Chain A
Amino acid sequence: MAVILLLLAIAAVVYPLYFVLIASISDPNQIYEGNVWFFPQGITFEGYQRIFGDIRIWQGLGNTFLYTIVGTAISVTAILCGAYALSRKDLPGRKFLMLIFIITMFFDGGLITKYLVVRDLGMLNTMWAVVLPGAVGVWNLIIARSFFEQSIPDELREAAQIDGANDFTFFLKMVLPLSKSLIMLMIMIHVVANWNSFFDALIFLNDDSKYPLQLVLRNILIQSDISSTGTTGGDVASYAAAQRIAELTKYAMIVVSSLPLMIALPFMQKHFTKGALIGAVKS
Chain B
Amino acid sequence: MSQTLKKRRGEQPTQRHIPLSMRFKRVLRAWQLYVLLAPALVYVALFKYWPMYGVQIAFRNYNPIDGFSGSPWVGLDNFVRFINSYQFGQVIGNTLWIAVLGLVIAFPVPIILALVVNQLQSERFKKFTQTVLYSPAFISTVVVVGIMFVLLSPRSGMVNNIIKLTGGEPIFFMGTPEWFRPVYVISDVWQNAGFSMIVYLAALASIDPSLHEAAKVDGASKFQRVRHIDLPGITPVITILFILAIGSLLNVGFEKALLMQTDLNLSASEIIQTYVYHAGLQQAQFSYSAAIGLFNSILNLALLVTFNWIARRTQQASLW
Q: Which residues of A contact B (CB under 8 A)?
A: 2-3, 5-6, 9-10, 12-14, 16-17, 19-20, 23, 28, 31-32, 34, 36, 77-79, 81-86, 88, 90-93, 97, 100-101, 104, 106-117, 120-121, 132-136, 141, 166-168, 171, 192, 195-199, 203, 214-215, 217-218, 221-222, 244, 247, 250-251, 253-254, 257-258, 261-262, 265-266, 269, 273, 276-277, 279-280, 283
Q: Which chain B residues lie closer than 8 Å to A134 at the CB level?
A: 47
> Which among A77, A218, A247 is the interface contact of B142 at CB below 8 angstroms?
A218
In this assembly, does B70 line the interface, its C-beta being within 8 Å of a C-beta of chain A?
Answer: no
Contacts of B304 in A (CB 8 A): 106
Asked if B131 and A250 make an inter-chain contact with CB atoms under 8 angstroms apart, the answer reads: no
Tell me whether A110 and B297 are in contact (CB under 8 A).
yes
Tell which of B43, B47, B149, B150 touches A117, judged by Cβ atoms closer than 8 Å: B47
- Nearest A residue to B200 by beta-carbon distance? A280
Q: Is the CB–CB distance between B290 and A221 below 8 Å?
A: no
Supposing A92-B26, A214-B140, A254-B146 touch, asked if A34 and B164 sit within 8 A by C-beta, the answer is yes
A-contact bits for B33-64, CB 8 A (1 contact / 0 none): 11111011101101111111111010000100
Q: In the complex the two chains form, is A198's CB within 8 Å of B198's CB?
A: no
Distance between B263 CB and nearest chain A CB, rounded to angstroms? 12
Q: Are the CB atoms of A198 and B141 closer together than 8 Å?
A: yes
Residue contact A250 to B146, C-beta cutoff 8 Å = yes
22 A-B contacts (beta carbon < 8 Å): A16-B151, A34-B161, A85-B34, A88-B30, A91-B30, A92-B26, A97-B41, A107-B301, A108-B51, A109-B49, A112-B281, A117-B47, A132-B43, A132-B47, A135-B43, A136-B44, A199-B258, A217-B140, A217-B142, A276-B198, A277-B198, A280-B237
A247 to chain B, nearest CB (A): 6
Query: What's the nearest-Cβ distance from chain B to residue A263, in Å?
Result: 11
Complex Cα spacing A247 to B151, Å: 11
- Whether A221 contacts B32 by the Cβ 8 Å rule is no
Tell me the B residues contacting A by CB distance below 8 Å.
Answer: 23, 26-27, 30, 32-37, 39-41, 43-44, 46-55, 57, 62, 67-68, 113, 116-117, 119-120, 125, 129-133, 135-136, 138-143, 145-147, 149-151, 153, 155-156, 158, 161, 164-165, 190, 194-195, 198-199, 202-203, 237, 240-241, 244, 247, 255, 258-259, 273, 276-277, 280-281, 286, 289-290, 293-294, 296-297, 301, 304
3 smallest CB-CB distances across A and B, nearest first, come from A109-B51, A82-B40, A110-B293
CB distance from A246 to the nearest CB of B (A): 11
Q: Which residues of B contact A250 (CB under 8 A)?
A: 146, 149-150
Please indicate the chain A residues that have their CB under 8 angstroms from the CB of B145 in the complex.
Answer: 221-222
Are A254 and B143 in touch, CB under 8 angstroms?
yes
Q: How far is the CB of B63 from chain A (nearest CB, A)?
A: 11
Chain B residue nearest in CB terms to A134:
B47
Is B40 touching A141 in the complex (CB atoms < 8 A)?
yes
Interface centre among A77, A93, A141 (most CB of B within 10 A): A93
> Secondary structure of the A side of the interface?
helix
Find out whether the CB atom of B43 lies under 8 angstroms from the CB atom of A78: yes
Structural contact, A107 and B52, CB atoms closer than 8 A: yes
A148 to B199, CA, bound (A): 21
For B161, give the chain A residue with the smallest CB separation. A34
Q: Is the CB of A117 within 8 A of B280?
A: no
Q: For A16, what are the chain B residues with a Cβ–Cβ distance below 8 Å?
A: 147, 151, 158, 190
- Closest residue of chain B to A97 (Cβ to Cβ) is B37
| B143 A86 Cβ-Cβ under 8 A | no
A136-B36 in contact (CB<8A): no
The residue on A at minimum CB distance from B277 is: A111
Known: A222-B149, A262-B135. A2 touches B39 (CB 8 A): no
| Given A20-B150, A106-B247, A254-B150, also A82-B142 (CB < 8 A) | no
Q: Which residues of A contact B116 (CB under 8 A)?
A: 2, 5-6
B253 CB to closest chain A CB (Å) equals 12
Contact B36 A85 (CB under 8 A): yes
Known: A113-B290, A221-B142, A221-B150. 20 other contacts (CB 8 A): A28-B156, A32-B156, A81-B37, A91-B33, A97-B41, A106-B247, A106-B301, A108-B48, A110-B294, A112-B286, A116-B51, A116-B54, A116-B286, A117-B46, A132-B43, A198-B142, A217-B142, A221-B149, A250-B149, A261-B139
Bound form: Cα–Cα A5–B294 in Å: 43
Closest to B53 in A: A109
- Inter-chain contact A31/B156, CB cutoff 8 Å: yes
Are A111 and B32 interface neighbours, CB within 8 A? Answer: no
Least CB separation from B304: chain A residue = A106
CA–CA, A258 and B259, complex, Å: 17
Check A253–B146 contact: CB distance below 8 A.
yes
Interchain nearest-CB distance for B47 vs A (Å): 5
Nearest CB on A from B10, distance (A): 12
